[in-house]
Amino acid sequence: MGDYILVIDEGTTSTRAIIFDRELNQVALAQKEVPLAYPNDGWVEQDGEEIWDKTVEVCRAAIEQAGGVDQIAGIGITNQRETTLVWDRATGKPIAPAIIWQDRRTAETCERLRKAGHEASVQDETGLLIDPYFSGTKIGWVLDNVEGAKARAEAGELAFGTIESFLIWKLTDGASHVTDVTNASRTLLYRLGLGEDGGWSDKMCALLGVPKSMLPEIRQNADDFGTSEESLFGKALPILSAAGDQQSALVGQACLEPGTAKITYGTGAFLVANCGSDRPDSANRLLGTVGYEAAGRGAMALEGSIFNAGTIVQWLRDDLRLIEDAAESAEVAAGLKGNGGVYIVPAFTGLGAPHWAADARGTITGITRATKAEHLVRAGLESVAYQTRDLLDAFEADGVAIKELRVDGGMVANDWLMQFIADICERPILRPDYREMTALGAAALAAMQLGWLDADDWARRTVPGTRFEPKMEKTASARLRQGWATALRKTLA
């Protein structure tokens, strides 16, 4: 057996392979972008076959960097959640593009379900709200809009999976149609609970018109997910772990005890708090979900989702061309004395928690003749902090007090933004020195499955990094938040 773990980290805009040693230090990395397509207003898609092809390419590249496949003990997987694929069981080929978690095409379906009075019972069953964000209505859309799909699904010819499930199917050449408990809990089809209390919901399958025969088998996050085909990498490799990216980051940040929380700033931003074994019931439109199940441990979690975080910087760079690279945004923001009264509400694909406004679209408010391009850059960054504070206020109203916030993801390299988040949220921000917490969590789970790592030891881990303490005067912070609240009301109106 080798001494390395190969982690597949399949994100919204790229797929990566990262290899870790027994001490969970990174030894190799390969990455390729996977483009998004926007064929209609509110639609976001990817090519499932391209995701697979690029996943294989980065895995092979990372394995070569690490000295060959004999070094690899097994595979861990973490992935963008809620993204939906339906494929032909005979060929393994998707019958439609992957519908990305940001996609809003089922907004009308969700509105009909809400108007019919289903939301309270859906939340009671799944911990989730009725929203296009989740996989269930996306599956229904494919079955209703791809010719012959519904009949084929009912005949058992089609399979559904979130990204990790599709990758496992491809890695094992169709031998394993499985998912993990965290990804399952994000589909709108899962009866929320730990262990035997959770499972696929007959009630939700009937409500959303999804044949249960399409669904994969659910396993813990550290488990036997099958074995990769030898022809792919030159050696058959056991698949040891799988977890949705946000729950994987929760594990990576060592948030295995109740009351600990992390937020990942990637394409979106996702705040997840460990709630222990008790099922969370939110009165403030947050989501109940499974935090993790592994190595004889498990926890529920409360989550708030921001749909647009890193996308704001991409928009400023690629579409408005106000900056040349993401790092420049920090310098631009720091060069201004204030935001000039300008606020951007980045509802490019609606607003997530705690608003859940699928039809909302972005706004820019407070523009005057004195507004400069730099004000827009700063307002874009500031919006991430304001959205984070909205989430924290909702968590507190639900009785989950988060005293400090562990952060990770691409945006946390921005020192100016980290300090501004600490100021607006009025809490310490802890940034780890090693930033790839999503991949690290998948590696830790795989190491638990191999017996290399004790879960209790990992829970006691102190994550080395930088601490940002609030510095802004409370009156100044309150004044900025009031300006955001005004801009948000205009957007929602």
The model's confidence at residue 349, banded by pLDDT at 50, 70 and 90, is confident
The model's confidence at residue 272, banded by pLDDT at 50, 70 and 90, is very high
The reply to whether the predicted model has a pTM over 0.95 is: no
Q: Length of the chain, please?
A: 493
Whether the pLDDT of residue 227 is over 80: the answer is yes
The pLDDT assigned to 356 comes to 80
Please list, in sequence order, all residues whose beta carbon lies within 8 angstroms of the beta carbon of residue 338, skipping any fewer than 6 positions away: none
Cα 190 to Cα 319: distance, rounded to the nearest angstrom: 38
pLDDT in tens, 128-171: 999 898 999 999 999 999 999 999 999 999 999 999 999 999 99
The pLDDT of 338-344, averaged and rounded, is 95
pLDDT in tens, 446-460: 999 999 999 889 988
Q: Which of 28, 36, 32, 35 is nearest to 6 (CA)?
A: 28
The pLDDT assigned to 483 comes to 96
Cα 242 to Cα 281: distance, rounded to the nearest angstrom: 26
Cα 438 to Cα 115: distance, rounded to the nearest angstrom: 37
The pLDDT assigned to 196 comes to 86
Cα 164 to Cα 173: distance, rounded to the nearest angstrom: 14
Beta strand extents in 107-248 (DSSP E only): 158-161, 178-180, 190-191, 199-200, 217-219, 239-244
Terminal alpha carbon distance of the chain = 60
Whether the pLDDT of residue 268 is over 90: the answer is no
Cα 189 to Cα 187: distance, rounded to the nearest angstrom: 5
pLDDT in tens, 393-418: 999 998 888 888 999 888 999 999 99
Rg, C-alpha atoms of the chain = 22
Is residue 198 classed as helix, strand or coil in its secondary structure? coil
